[in-house]
């Protein structure tokens, strides 16, 4: 038996996909079902909520960054010994990059590939029967992507529900949910998206409020009936990122949180051991580890505490004399000389690389990336091609004199120049790695 699955899609970000997804995940879990959340494309934060709501690790499925074989292997793993997989779209359902068919990074790619139906979440605030025109556009835009049902979100009244819902059902799409406007259901946000699941003092209470909403406002039995079997073709993990060492010291706390679930799972599957430590608690990496990995996160929110963590600084300096250290995005910022926070205050960082960064002078960098490594490093051997993405507002204020780490291109192969730095055993870049190309 394989899991049944459905995609939660919408016309755009901010339509309420995440709240609906979490509500369904938590409500079905409370019914005693084994449910797993998945997320299309690059996103660290939503899988954390999926995991908290279900007790099962979330997964990212990315049709651009992952080879078909790795994508199938991860989808099959998600469906194994699971009743339902609820797959949340990133951005709008069809949003991706110009690429060969099926490799745009959109959730629509996954709908076509696996024959999965879409539950369309429509924010109908400010409209009524016009919502039917939007729904009809989705239903007819691509005949290989099937809209199975609609959830009306942010309704103002019962009359509003009737006008919107009747118009949509008149074009042949069932309305399986109607959610009244309720600001208390909104999840708080910051500059990189939602505030992370691990930062809530009352996380489970909020997840249960979303589940209560789903029980009250959605026909969950109808949603489950719309789902289709998730039965991917045979795949393997050959294109997953290789473990950078046998024992991996992993920075893990509120400042360092962005490591994809599939990356950690594939490292463990290959036999590696992950040994977490907390820089914010002034911990240093275990010296018995083979490599240290500073993942992305929010060091700009904790720069003062990181600057004062003397044991962390000393331990990282010792580790760097003999063993590899790699930093991604936020980790890369901490490896540099100075980090300027949002208020303009500067803080000394590790100084293991020569660059400096600023969060006060913000500029959004966002998009898929392909990196060709110039040298061996924890990401892979010299010449390896790694796919991933960038998403950050910080920018460099000083470049230092270290050697470049990789040559970078965007998702369409357009060269972007050198990226990241390396010095001795230390390397880092704003680029987040997802898989081998």
Q: Is the pLDDT confidence value at 190 over 60?
A: no
Residue 329 catalytic? Answer: yes
pTM score: 0.93
Q: Is the pLDDT confidence value at 87 over 60?
A: yes
Residues in the chain: 437
pLDDT band at 20 (very low <50, low <70, confident <90, very high): very high
Please tell me which residue in 266, 289, 292, 329 is annotated as part of the active site. 329
**Least reliable range by pLDDT among 129-143, 180-194, 217-231:** 180-194
pLDDT of residue 43: 86
Q: Angle at Cα 74 formed by Cα 68 and Cα 79, nearest 5°?
A: 125
Per-residue tokens: 280: 């914010």
Sign for the pseudo-dihedral over CA of 296, 298, 304, 305: negative
144-170 confidence digits (pLDDT tens): 999 999 999 999 999 999 999 999 999
pLDDT of residue 203: 83
254-297 confidence digits (pLDDT tens): 999 999 999 999 999 999 999 999 999 999 999 999 999 999 99
pLDDT of residue 1: 58
**Among candidate residues 80, 34, 76, the one with its CA nearest the CA of residue 53:** 34
In this structure, are strands 385-392 and 365-373 parallel, antiparallel, or unpaired? Answer: antiparallel
Spatial separation of the C-alpha atoms in residues 184 and 24, rounded to whole Å: 17
**Among candidate residues 324, 264, 326, 328, the one with its CA nearest the CA of residue 296:** 328
Residue carrying structure tokens 């500073």: 294
Spatial separation of the C-alpha atoms in residues 203 and 143, rounded to whole Å: 39
Spatial separation of the C-alpha atoms in residues 358 and 344, rounded to whole Å: 8
Which DSSP string do the residues of 10-58 spell out, in sequence order? -SSTTSSHHHHHHHHHHHHHHTT--EEEEEESS-SHHHHHHHHHHSS--
Q: Is the pLDDT confidence value at 199 over 80?
A: no
For range 350-357, the mean pLDDT: 97
Spatial separation of the C-alpha atoms in residues 115 and 332, rounded to whole Å: 40
């Amino acid at each position: 038996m394989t899991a049944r699955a459905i995609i939660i899609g919408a016309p755009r970000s901010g339509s309420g996909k995440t709240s609906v997804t979490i509500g369904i995940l938590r409500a079905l879990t409370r019914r005693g079902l084994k449910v797993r959340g998945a997320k299309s494309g690059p996103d660290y934060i939503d899988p954390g909520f999926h995991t908290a709501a279900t007790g099962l690790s979330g997964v990212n499925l990315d049709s651009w960054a992952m080879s078909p074989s790795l994508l199938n292997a991860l989808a099959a793993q998600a469906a194994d010994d699971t009743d339902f997989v609820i797959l949340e779209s990133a951005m709008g359902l069809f949003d991706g990059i110009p690429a060969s068919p099926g490799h745009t990074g959109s959730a629509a790619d996954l709908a076509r590939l696996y024959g999965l139906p879409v539950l369309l979440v429509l924010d109908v605030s400010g409209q009524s029967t016009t919502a039917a025109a939007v729904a009809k556009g989705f239903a007819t835009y691509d005949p290989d992507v099937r809209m199975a049902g609609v959830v009306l979100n942010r309704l103002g009244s019962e009359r509003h529900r009737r006008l919107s819902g009747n118009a949509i059902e008149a074009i042949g799409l069932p309305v399986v949910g109607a959610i009244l406007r309720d600001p208390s259901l909104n999840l708080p946000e910051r500059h990189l998206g939602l505030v992370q699941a691990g930062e809530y003092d009352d996380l489970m209470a909020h997840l249960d409020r979303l589940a209560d909403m789903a029980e009250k406002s959605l026909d969950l039995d109808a949603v489950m009936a719309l789902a289709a079997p998730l039965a991917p073709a045979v795949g393997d993990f050959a294109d997953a990122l290789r473990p950078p060492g046998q024992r991996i010291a992993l920075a893990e706390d509120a400042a360092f949180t962005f490591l994809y679930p599939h990356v950690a799972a594939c490292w463990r599957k290959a036999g590696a051991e992950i040994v977490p430590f907390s820089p914010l608690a002034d911990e240093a990496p275990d010296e018995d580890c083979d490599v240290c990995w500073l993942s992305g996160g929010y060091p700009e929110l904790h720069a003062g505490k990181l600057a004062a963590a003397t044991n962390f600084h000393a331990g990282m300096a010792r580790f760097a004399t003999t063993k590899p250290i790699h930093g991604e995005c936020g980790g890369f910022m901490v490896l540099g000389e100075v980090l300027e926070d949002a208020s303009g205050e500067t803080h000394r960082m590790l100084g293991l690389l020569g660059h400096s960064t600023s969060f006060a002078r913000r500029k959004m960098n966002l998009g898929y990336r392909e990196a060709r490594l110039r040298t061996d490093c924890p990401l892979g051997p010299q010449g390896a091609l790694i796919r991933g993405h960038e998403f950050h507002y910080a920018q460099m204020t000083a470049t230092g004199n270290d050697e470049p780490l990789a040559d970078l291109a965007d998702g369409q192969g357009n060269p972007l120049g050198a990226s990241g730095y390396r010095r001795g055993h230390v390397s880092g870049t704003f680029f987040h790695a997802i898989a081998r190309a």
